[in-house]
Amino acid sequence: MIYQRYIPAHELFSAQLELLMQNGQLPTVAAHLIGVAAALAMFWPFLDPTAMLLWAGAFLALLLLRSLHMSRALSSHAYRIAPRWVYAWLVLGSAATGTIWSAVYIYAAHHVPITMQYTFLLLILMITAISVGFSVILREYFIVYLFTAIWPIAWWSLANYWEQPYNLVLGLVLLAFCALLVVICDRMYRSFRNMISLNWEREAMSRELGELTHSLRERNRQLRDARQQLTCLANIDELTGLGNRRMANSALNDEINRARRTGACLSLVMLDVDCFKAYNDTYGHPAGDRVLQRLADLMQRATTRAGELVARFGGEEFILILPGACAETALRTAERLRQLVEEEAIPHAGSPQFGVITVSQGLLTLEPGTDAQPGELVSRADQALYRAKQLGRNRVVVAGPSPSADIGAAPPG
Ligand SMILES: Nc1nc2c(ncn2[C@@H]2O[C@H](COP(=O)(O)OP(=O)(O)OP(=O)(O)O)[C@@H](O)[C@H]2O)c(=O)[nH]1
């Protein structure tokens, strides 16, 4: 469809019909009404008034029918559904009105003065000239009118050349007039058709462009979604739904830079499940997985402040990044988490000291104005965690300036 640039013949025909009816409906009725009124005024003294009124009534009824036909065809879109049928009726109406005018002229020629007769002819020619303006959209439609309204008068004039002095000349002039109008009408018809085709092509192209833009937008959206999904997959730990090590590293980097810029504190907690190997050995690996998921929930409950992030750093080790938290606040958070885990009371027969799942944590705070690399911070927090394990597990150890200065903040209760 996108490569089609020429209007199909049936669509061109329907468009011509539509244009003809839209533009021609009013001028047709108006021109013929003026013609009827003028004919009545001119012939009233010479012809039988009753016959004239009957004629005018019949003509008006015909005009009304034509107008109704056009309105119905336009509103029901019949010109698209059954264009041939609509066209046939239009041509029939055109032939009927043309025939009426020529018949009236020929009849009046025997009953009215010659000046009146020629004035009437001028009137018919004027109506024809008005018609040419819009009815050439469909060449044949106009030609039918021309050959029913003017052509018979021309031949009648030639056939009766002896009756009136100018009949011969008039007949020849009218024949020439018909020929001229046919040529003009053909030219106009071609330009109208080109205009419709061009219009159609422009509309088709802008429609295609619209569809193309729409599908490109849709494609972009899909790509954006896919990218988001990929980013998500690349940063999320499948088991716990927390961020993974990759996300943690990137967040830590960002937070160190932010802390450096704003001069705020930044704390970091490394957390490890105690005696987890024993748990796996006792309860099985799937049960161990479920414990990790429950712990992930607890860690999220303990870190609700804006900007705080929990990630799975690897295996059964987790990291908590606490932007803006100085040592005291961070210790409170870590301790609350330790208690939450303890209170969760997940049975752990393999934990000789506690009998439930516990966690050890190493906490490190980056004081304002201190510079450090992410790896260095993680390593120092890890050392504090190692100390927590050494000191008996289930506790938080705050990293000091050196490993020997680490502070075991929360002895097991
Ligand atoms: N179920 C489960 N176990 C895991 C996962 N990742 C690591 N582990 C287990 O975690 C255990 C870690 O054991 P260790 O490093 O020896 O430490 P631990 O037994 O926790 O002892 P401490 O750390 O000294 O208290 C190993 O048995 C791993 O198999 C996991 O995704 N699911």
Give the tens place of pLDDT for each residue, 138-159.
Answer: 888 889 999 999 999 999 999 9
Q: Is residue 219 part of a domain?
A: no
Query: At residue 238, what are phi and psi to the nearest 5 degrees?
Result: -65, -40
Q: State whether residue 4 is helix, strand or coil.
A: coil
What is the number of structural domains in the chain?
A: 2
ipTM (interface predicted TM): 0.97
Q: Is residue 336 part of a domain?
A: yes
Give the span between the Cα atoms of 8 and 41, in whole angstroms.
48
Q: Supply the residue whose CA is at minimum distance from atom 7 of ligand 1.
A: 315
Q: Is residue 272 part of a domain?
A: yes
Point out the residues that are catalytic: 316
Q: Is 185 within 8 Å of 143 (Cβ atoms)?
A: yes
Give the tens place of pLDDT for each residue, 233-244.
Answer: 889 999 999 999
Mean pLDDT of 312-319: 95
Give the span between the Cα atoms of 15 and 19, in whole angstroms.
6
Q: Looking at residue 405, what is its pLDDT?
A: 57
Do residue 263 and residue 203 come from a single domain? Answer: no
Give the span between the Cα atoms of 74 and 139, in whole angstroms.
20
Pocket of ligand 1, beta carbon within 6 A: 239, 272-278, 280, 285, 288-289, 292, 315-316, 389, 393
Q: Is residue 105 part of a domain?
A: yes
Do residue 265 and residue 353 come from a single domain? Answer: yes
More confident residue, 132 or 102: 102
Q: What is the CATH number of the domain that holds 327?
A: 3.30.70.270
Query: How many angstroms does the Cα of residue 218 sit away from the middle of ligand 1?
Result: 46
Q: Is residue 220 part of a domain?
A: no
Q: Which of 346, 348, 338, 344 is nearest to 388 (CA)?
A: 338
Do residue 179 and residue 76 come from a single domain? Answer: yes
Does residue 4 carry a pLDDT above 60? no
Give the span between the Cα atoms of 396 and 364, in whole angstroms.
10
Q: Is residue 229 part of a domain?
A: no
Do residue 69 and residue 174 come from a single domain? Answer: yes
Ligand 1 pocket mutation pick from 239, 272, 277, 361 by most atoms within 8 angstroms of CB = 277
Question: Sign (positive/negative) of CA torsion 331, 335, 341, 344?
Answer: negative
Give the tens place of pLDDT for each residue, 49-74.
Answer: 999 999 999 999 999 998 999 999 99
* Residues in CB range of 146: below 8 A, 6 or more apart: 98, 128, 178, 181, 182, 185
Does residue 286 carry a pLDDT above 90? yes
Q: DSSP letter at 371?
A: -
Do residue 97 and residue 197 come from a single domain? Answer: yes
* Residue % of the chain over a pLDDT of 70: 96
Structural domain harbouring 358: 245-409
More confident residue, 204 or 268: 268
Q: Is residue 153 part of a domain?
A: yes
Which among 162, 185, 208 is the end of a domain? 208
Angle 396-397-400 from CA coordinates, rounded to 5°: 155
Do residue 75 and residue 178 come from a single domain? Answer: yes
Q: The whole model's pTM is what?
A: 0.54
Do residue 50 and residue 186 come from a single domain? Answer: yes
Q: Is residue 225 part of a domain?
A: no
Do residue 148 and residue 276 come from a single domain? Answer: no
Do residue 70 and residue 186 come from a single domain? Answer: yes
